[in-house]
Amino acid sequence: MVELVWLIPALPLFGFLVLLLLGRRLGEPLAGWFATLMCAGAFVASVIVFAGLYSKPEHERQFQQILFDWLPAGGLKVQLGFLVDPLSVTMVLFITGVGALIHLYSIGYMHGDKDFSKFFVYLNLFAFSMLMLVLGNNLLVTFLGWEGVGACSYFLISFWFTDEANASAGKKAFVTNRIGDWGFMTATFLAFSATGTITYFANGSTPGLLNEETLATLAAVTATGIAALLFFGAVGKSAQLPLYVWLPDAMAGPTPVSALIHAATMVTAGVYLMTRVSPLLAHGYTWLPATIAIVGAITALFAATIAVAQNDIKKVLAYSTVSQLGYMFLAVGSGAYVAAIFHMVTHAFFKALLFLGSGSVIHGLHGEQDMRKMGGLRKFMPITAVTFIIGWLAIAGIPPFAGFWSKDDILLAAWAHGGSAMWKAVWFIGFVTALLTAFYMSRQVFMVFFGEPRFEEEGEHAVHPHESPWTMALPLVVLSFLAVVGGALNLPFTEDTKFLDKWLAPVVEAGQRSFDIAGVAQTALAIGTAVLCAVSIAVAAQIYLRHKRKPVEPEVLAHAWYYDESITAFVGGPGEAAFEQTAAFDKGIIDGAVNGVARIVQWGASKLRLAQTGYVRNYALGIAVGAFILVGLFLTRAGG
Partner 1 sequence: MLLAAVQPTTTWYLVLGALLFTIGAVGLMVRRNPLVMFMCVELMLNAVNLTFVTFAKALDDIGGQTIVFFVLVVAAAEVVVGLGIIVALMRRRPGATADDISVLKG
Chain residues that interact with partner 1, rule: CB under 8 A? 608-617, 620-621, 624
d(CA 38, CA 15): 6
614 sits in the region (left: phi over 0; alpha: psi -120 to 50; else beta) called left
CB count, 10 Å around CB of 571?
Answer: 12
- Residue 504 makes CB contacts below 8 A (sequence gap 6+) with 86, 87, 90, 337, 338, 341
Please say which residue, 609 or 637, places its beta carbon nearer to partner 1: 609
Percent helix, strand, coil in the chain, to 5, is: 75, 5, 20
Q: At what angle do helices 402-415 and 337-364 cross, to 10 degrees?
A: 140
- Phi then psi dihedrals of residue 308, to 5 deg: -65, -30
Please say which residue, 566 or 613, places its beta carbon nearer to partner 1: 613
Helices (H), 209-277: 212-217, 220-237, 246-249, 255-259, 269-276
d(CA 15, CA 146): 20
d(CA 138, CA 144): 10
Min dist CB 627 to partner 1, Å, is 10
Min dist CB 608 to partner 1, Å, is 8
Residue 82 host element (H or E)? strand 76-84
Please say which residue, 493 or 615, places its beta carbon nearer to partner 1: 615
Min dist CB 637 to partner 1, Å, is 21
H helix count then E strand count, the chain: 25, 2
- Residue 521 makes CB contacts below 8 A (sequence gap 6+) with none
Please say which residue, 67 or 621, places its beta carbon nearer to partner 1: 621
Please say which residue, 518 or 605, places its beta carbon nearer to partner 1: 605
Max distance between CA atoms of the chain, in angstroms, equals 115
Min dist CB 638 to partner 1, Å, is 17
Please say which residue, 59 or 609, places its beta carbon nearer to partner 1: 609
Please say which residue, 421 or 605, places its beta carbon nearer to partner 1: 605
Min dist CB 613 to partner 1, Å, is 5
Min dist CB 624 to partner 1, Å, is 6
DSSP-assigned states of every residue in 493-521: SSGGG-HHHHHHHHHHTTTPPP----HHH
Q: Is 48 exposed, middle or buried (0-12, 13-18, 19+ CB in 10 A)?
A: middle
Dihedral sign, Cα of residue 8, residue 12, residue 17, residue 18 = positive
d(CA 266, CA 94): 12
Taking alpha carbons only, the member of 269, 285, 282 closest to residue 336 is 282
Min dist CB 622 to partner 1, Å, is 11
Please say which residue, 582 or 618, places its beta carbon nearer to partner 1: 618
Three-class SS state of 60 = helix
Please say which residue, 485 or 624, places its beta carbon nearer to partner 1: 624
Min dist CB 235 to partner 1, Å, is 59
Give the angle 37-258-463 at the CA atoms, nearest 5°. 100
Min dist CB 635 to partner 1, Å, is 16
Three-class SS state of 311 = coil
Min dist CB 236 to partner 1, Å, is 56
Taking alpha carbons only, the member of 146, 100, 76, 14 closest to residue 6 is 14
Min dist CB 614 to partner 1, Å, is 3
Min dist CB 172 to partner 1, Å, is 55
d(CA 587, CA 582): 9
Min dist CB 587 to partner 1, Å, is 33
Partners of residue 370 on adjacent β-strands: 312
3-state SS, 108-143, equals HHCCCCCCHHHHHHHHHHHHHHHHHHHHECEHHHHH
